[in-house]
Every structure is written in C-alpha cells, then in structure tokens.
Amino acid sequence: MTGEFRDVQLDVLRSALLDEAGGVVHGFTGRVAGLGAADGNVGYSPPRDQPDAWLNRQRWSAAIGVNPDHLVTPGQVHGATVLEAREGDAGIGARPRSGKLGLGDALMSGERGPVLFSLHADCLPLLLVDPGSGGSARAVAAVHAGWRGTVADVAGATVKAMRDAYGSRPESLLAFIGPAIGPCCYEVGAEVIDAWRATAGADAGAAVRARLSREHFDLQAANALLLERVGLRPDHIELAGICTRCNGERWFSHRGQGATTGRFAAVISLRD
C-alpha cells in the first residue's frame, strides 16, 4: 500500500493476517534511495542525522496512518525484557532527545494512543495482535529479536506478558514475522548454534542450515517455533520471508551495508 507526505510516495509492508484482525494499524518502514539524507532511515543513534530521521519518521507515519508524536521506543539491548506502554507514554522516544520508555526488546500495549516502534537492520521484527476474542482485552506488541533475543526467547516472554497483563490466550494471538536476515546470509559461529540448541532442544534443527563448512541460523523459523511452543497456532503465524541482506535496496542490513547503515521500523498500534 502507499501513503503520501509532501509529495513523497512510500511503499509500506503490511501483514494480511493482521489486517484481517481489525482495530489495528501497523506497517514497516524501509530503505528508499534518495529519501532524506539517509535513504529513509528512522533511527537516531550515532552517526545518524537525528533531524533527518525525525522528518522520515513523520513521512513514514503518514504513510502508515499513525501520529508520529505518539511513537514509543525502547532502548533495545538484545534481551528478553518486555515493557508496557500506557496511554500517557505516547510520545516517549518519538522526537530526538525525548528519552526511551526503558531498556528492553519488546513493547506491548492494551491502550489506544501509544504507537509501538521497534528498530531493525537484520534483527527480526515480530508483531503480535490479540484481537480481543474469548474475553481477553485487545492488545498489540512489537518485538526486536536478534540471535541473543531469540535464544533468550523474547517471543515467548512477550506472549506470556500479554497473557498476564491482558488475559491473552496464546491460541487466539496473531503474529507477523517481518523482514530479517535470512538463513541464506546469516552465517554464525558455534556459540550461536550452541545457545540455540540449549533453548530449542530436540527441535533446534528446524532453524539450523548447513552451508559448506559453516552453519547458518534461520531467525524466522526459530521464532515461529518458539511462538508455537508457547501456544500460538501455526495458521496464526505469517512470515514475510524477506532477507534484508539479499534485498538491501529495500531494507537496511547491518551485514550487507555496514555498521553505520540506517534502521527501518516495525510499527503497530490499536486504532483510535
């Protein structure tokens, strides 16, 4: 789908599964050659241009259909801490130097107002929706899962936090696993595979790919497995199937473009 901001046309990736839930607005920003000073980057961390990134946040927010002054961001630390955004938290982390909600790699909310906003450049974005069936409250979550967060089961921790806070039933939750570095490009060392095997046990092989002399890790398969383990139905999990490194013209990739590349965002909110 497309949106406009000052005559700029932007393509927004959305999930058909989450769209069907209703009552939720969501989307993914991306990399667009020539958009601002850094091809559509929305991250503030050095050496990125913060005023330019704020302008891009406004552009992408217009395309997605959210209020940029209601964005909420965490300080991402590659762990499994889940933070809750309440109505009064809307705007924390939206503009440059507006702080962070806290340190953590998952945001959840059961209130209208906050727009959850996680940043990525190869690490996996996961969006979760509780449509509010079966007596639970409607709620949403945005998760950042690199390999460390994956082996710490940040996906499972988020589902459990939604269950405790909102009465969410895992079998009713909907999940969209967005663009991330794919197993085609994600060559890892033994420490990653060993940590994953300790988490996944007998099922670990579902996310490990042997390529020549090194093993590759499948972040999308790993997180789908962890979601199923915590009770999500397989047909309630949609995978984008997009490798950020292979598709570097559309997505920022740390491995493909270097450490100073920009960041794209996963965005979700309950609809006002």
The per-residue pLDDT for 137 is: 87
Topology given in CATH for the domain delimited by 2-171+245-270? CNF1/YfiH-like putative cysteine hydrolases (3.60.140)
**57-89 b/e with 16+ CB inside 10 Å = b?**
bbbbbbbbbbbbebbbbbebeebbbbbbbeeeb
Mean pLDDT of the residues in the chain? 95
pLDDT in tens, 68-95: 999 999 999 999 999 999 999 999 999 9
210-259 pLDDT per residue, tens: 877 789 999 999 999 999 999 999 999 999 999 999 999 999 999 999 99
154-162: average pLDDT: 98
- Across 3-15, average pLDDT: 73
Q: Output the six-digit token pair for 212.
A: 């020549």
pLDDT at 134: 74
First to last CA, the chain: 20
pLDDT bracket for residue 18 (50, 70, 90): very high
Instruction: Give the C-alpha distances (Å, rounded to integers) separating 272 from 22, 23, 70, 129, 141.
Output: 12, 8, 12, 15, 16
Does 138 have pLDDT greater than 70? yes
What predicted TM-score, i.e. pTM, was given to this entire model? 0.95
pLDDT of residue 3: 43
Task: Return the domain boundaries, the chain.
Answer: 2-171+245-270
Residues above pLDDT 90, as percent of the chain: 92
User: Which of 4-8, 17-21, 194-198, 237-241 has the weakest average pLDDT?
Assistant: 4-8
Task: State residue 136's pLDDT score.
Answer: 82
